Amino acid sequence: MAGEAWSERKTTAVLVLADGTVIEGFGLGAEGAVEGEVCFNTALTGYQEILTDPSYAKQIVTFTFPHIGNVGANADDHEDLTPANSCGAVGAIFRADVTAPSNYRSAGHLDEWLKARGVIALSGIDTRALTALIREKGMPNAVIAHDPSGQFDLDALKERAKAWPGLIGLDLAKDVAVGQTAVWKETPWLWDKGYADLDKPHYKIVAVDYGTKRNILRLMAGLGAEVIVMPPTASAEEILAHEPDGVFLSNGPGDPAATGEYAVPMIRKLIEKGVPLFGICLGHQMLALALGGQTAKMHQGHHGANHPVKDFTTGKVEIVSMNHGFAVAADSLPEGVEETHRSLFDGTNCGLRLSDKPVFSVQHHPEASPGPQDSHYLFKRFFDLIAETKGNKAAA
């Protein structure tokens, strides 16, 4: 609010942590209250892609970059497949007020976009202090609430935050994924031309949707693949009925062990059949479970677009985009499963492959959106693996 000191403004939003801490701010976006896990994201750009990433379901994103909303919002930059269902973050926290947008691609103000998606947000708080709290104590469960009247029943909100069970043991893939099989042909963005459709596909890929991002599907289409998107509960038999050249296991939210209850048996059958497999994020974690590994909840997670990861297969270090609160325990991987990537921030596992099968996965997001494109090569690695597998079958 121009010309008015923050100390003179009325509190219209609060963040209430499960330990009873109350953080006051100024509301925007949708009104109401919602539970979620509070995390922080260190990316400097791409707030719309971040907030629409289905992997953020049931999470409240604190942006460490202070100025969010400057370029507005549009209909092209969301990453979820079902935007009408508001798949993605349930809340957002900003340091500074959202200013009027200034970008040629903007179709509207971020505040209106948040309202339309049902995302509750607040601004005007010390996001550095909140980030430090998360680094020290871990990602807290909380309730974010917005009421223009400024009237809040704090006792009730504290009880609500305390009672919310959190993400451990929670399967969210069914909530954010497509409900039925669909074909994807949209290719990556071309400057001043927008998106196009794949004309003559050379490959057929089945993408198992646990909360996939659009840019993943675009990059595969851009490499010549018709992508068949299938629900997370699809069986191995239903997937194989499409006679795919390869199968992709997508990113997604929630606890991999919970989603793995129905996903792991399917993944094991595909591995036994020798189908080329590529997994990202949640798909990586569930592949590890299918191979006999274990996953665990992280203290603060990895959320940002500046994470250094080393690829041991090339010896190169990449700067990558990440968004996950669970991780694969590298020391749990059995013999025959090779660790291919590792975080240089904390040493956690970021990739694996099988020594005797066309199967690999990574924890980070090679499609970026937002983030650097250092890891785009992984999609080509997948298609090279498919070509190699098809060549071996033809030779046999």
The catalytic residues are 281, 365, 367
**19: which residues sit within 8 A by CB, 6+ positions away?**
140
For residue 260, what is the enclosing H or E element?
helix 256-273
* 91 bridge partner residues: 60, 120
| Tokens describing residue 224 | 């010549």
Q: Across 257-373, where does the E strand assignment appear? A: 277-280, 295-311, 316-328, 337-343, 349-354, 359-362
Report the alpha-carbon distance of residue 315 to residue 310 in Å, rounded: 7
**286: which residues sit within 8 A by CB, 6+ positions away?**
210, 249, 256, 259, 260, 263, 264, 267, 279
DSSP string, 144-166: EEE-TT----HHHHHHHHHH---
User: Please, are residues 93 and 134 in contact by the beta-carbon 8 Å criterion?
Assistant: no
**362: which residues sit within 8 A by CB, 6+ positions away?**
279, 280, 284, 340, 341, 350, 351, 375, 378
For residue 381, what is the enclosing H or E element?
helix 377-395
Burial 111-143 (b: 16+ CB within 10 A, else e): bebbbebebbbbbbbebeebbebbeeebbbbbb
Residue whose tokens read 């980070």: 364
User: Please, are residues 368 and 319 in contact by the beta-carbon 8 Å criterion?
Assistant: no
User: Please, are residues 344 and 315 in contact by the beta-carbon 8 Å criterion?
Assistant: no
Tally of CB atoms within 10 A around 39: 24
Report the alpha-carbon distance of residue 216 to residue 64 in Å, rounded: 25
